[in-house]
Amino acid sequence: MGERNLTLLTDFYELTMMQGYFKNKSNETVIFDAFYRSNPSGNGYAVCAGLEQMIDYIKNLHFDQDDIKYLREQKIFDEDFLEYLSTFRFTGDIYAIPEGTVVFPMEPLVKVIAPIMEAQLVETAILTIINHQSLIATKAARVAYAAKGDGVMEFGLRRAQGPDAGTLGARAAVIGGCIGTSNVLAAKLYDIPPLGTHAHSWIMSFEDELTAFRHYANLYPENTTLLVDTYDTLRSGVPNAIKVFSELKEAGKMPKKYGIRLDSGDLAYLSKKAKKLLDAAGFTDAIITASSDLDEYLIDSLKTQGAAINSWGVGTNLITSKDCPAFGGVYKLAAIEKDGIFIPKIKLSENTWKITNPGNKTIYRIYDKESGKIKADLIALIDEEFSEENSLMIFDPIETWKKTYLRPGSYTLREILVPIFLNGECVYESPKVMDIRAYCQKELDTLWDETRRLVNPHKVYVDLSKKLWTIKNELLDSINEFYHTSK
């Protein structure tokens, strides 16, 4: 958050490796890709987020005197290296997918091209920033999807894993689809709507519920939501709320937005009963908000049960992404520059899908021209050229017999990795969070419904260009050959 110096927000091994690179004078330029391997919560996509904080981090990268002093005290860093660190700045290039874009496994969300000492140092912070916010933005997109157009308020700060997770999580939740947050610091910092109702303590602090409601309604005549479950929802809370709304109506002071909040009990049953009582009293447009340990599955179930709820407050399960607490993004070396040419590098794994994609790559999103929906993503090398006027054959990188042939003129292409830093200079201006949110809503519209469903969604293919696939296979062959013949 803000302008903090996060330079030491890295793993110790990044610094020990950096000193090693420094001593060997091997500060060649390298390419690292940050990507993730599977969508959180069994989702069909992820929403990437955190780029603005990553940019702030890179812009502010510098070891101040206090940092150098601390590192010196560790007694493993030599003076020449510490001297180098004292003037350290990021001088490389960074490409990234803009926040709010829907993304898929294996594609680089961030690509760093920089001298190896710089590219290595920034690994940990880039991952922690992008992993956290992408996780929460994706969870929020699921929750908002289940709410089917009703507003979802982010209520999680008190149960988040600390202040940063609560605040940056609120930012990410709004990017993914929440309409605002109860977190006032997040609302101020990121210019997002601060929202909320009131707590049980407000009711309990008065002699009786009716008096508490009257005071609250008089204080906030523009937007009055009354929490009706402190004593007895249907016998006391709802009738008292109706009484207060009737008094306001009679006095000609009817709030523009008004309603009740349910926070316990059977939310389907209570909301339907409450709606009947409100309707009968003429308050047909009262907003019925629900909260209480909600997540996307419960909201979906309440919708199926015909609950009369049209506003949702979601805290714990959203801000902590409780069912899936880690995004799992990784940062892997993809190429090393030798004599002005990038030599592709690959990391092997027992799992074929864990084998990295080598080289200096970019990503094209392929849309069906007629519907505007995503057909697939294509990871290609940056020097490859594609034209919508030509036919295109794409194939699954592992199950290569799965091929899709795209007729000329039947598809459109969009390159989704964009320049963020060039030669250490930031060339990108982050949009405001509410604009990122609006962009994300449009992005979500480019997914087929089958990909958005909560359970067993349809997979979007991320394919490799023929050239990239060939290079990858040649590298695999050469490694195999080397390790089988060099015994």
Ligand X SMILES: Nc1ncnc2c1ncn2[C@@H]1O[C@H](COP(=O)(O)OP(=O)(O)OP(=O)(O)O)[C@@H](O)[C@H]1O
Per the CB < 8 A criterion, the answer to whether 140 and 152 are in contact is yes
390 Cβ partners below 8 Å, 6+ apart? 408
Instruction: Report the partner that residue 197 touches, choosing among ligand X, ligand PRP, ligand NIO, none (CB closer than 5 to 8 A by kind).
Output: ligand NIO
The yes or no reply on residue 313 touching ligand NIO (CB under 6 A) is yes
Rounded Cα gap, residues 457 and 242, in angstroms: 43
- Binding residues among 255-294 for ligand PRP as defined by CB under 6 A: 263, 291-294
Instruction: Report the partner that residue 41 touches, choosing among ligand X, ligand NIO, ligand PRP, none (CB closer than 5 to 8 A by kind).
Output: none
Query: Which range, of 45-53, 79-87, 151-159, 393-401, touches ligand PRP by CB under 6 A?
Result: 151-159
Q: Under DSSP, is residue 332 helix (H, G, I), strand (E, B) or coil?
A: strand
Among 155, 331, 342, 461, binds ligand NIO (CB under 6 A): 155
Output 199 or 479, the one with its CB closest to ligand PRP. 199
- Binding residues among 414-443 for ligand NIO as defined by CB under 6 A: none
Among 62, 159, 273, 303, binds ligand PRP (CB under 6 A): 159
The yes or no reply on residue 315 touching ligand NIO (CB under 6 A) is yes
Shortest Cβ 199–ligand PRP spacing (Å): 3
Rounded Cα gap, residues 277 and 234, in angstroms: 9
Task: State both tokens at 481.
Answer: 């050959």
Output 303 or 345, the one with its CB closest to ligand X. 303
The yes or no reply on residue 199 touching ligand PRP (CB under 6 A) is yes
CA of 83: how far to CAs of 19, 101, 227, 267, 421, in Å? 11, 40, 60, 63, 25
Rounded Cα gap, residues 110 and 419, in angstroms: 10
Output 44 or 315, the one with its CB closest to ligand NIO. 315
Sheet holding 29-35, edge to edge: 341-344, 330-338, 29-35, 110-115, 93-96, 418-422, 425-426
Among 146, 187, 226, 298, binds ligand X (CB under 6 A): 298
Among 168, 268, 308, 334, binds ligand X (CB under 6 A): 268
Shortest Cβ 294–ligand X spacing (Å): 5
Q: Which residue has the tokens 């702030």?
A: 56
Cβ of 191: how many Cβ atoms within 10 Å?
11
Rounded Cα gap, residues 289 and 278, in angstroms: 13
Output 127 or 174, the one with its CB closest to ligand NIO. 174
Cβ of 117: how many Cβ atoms within 10 Å?
23
Contact residues for ligand X, defined by CB under 6 A = 263-268, 292-294, 298, 301-302, 305
Contact residues for ligand PRP, defined by CB under 6 A = 155, 158-159, 199-200, 263, 291-294, 313-317
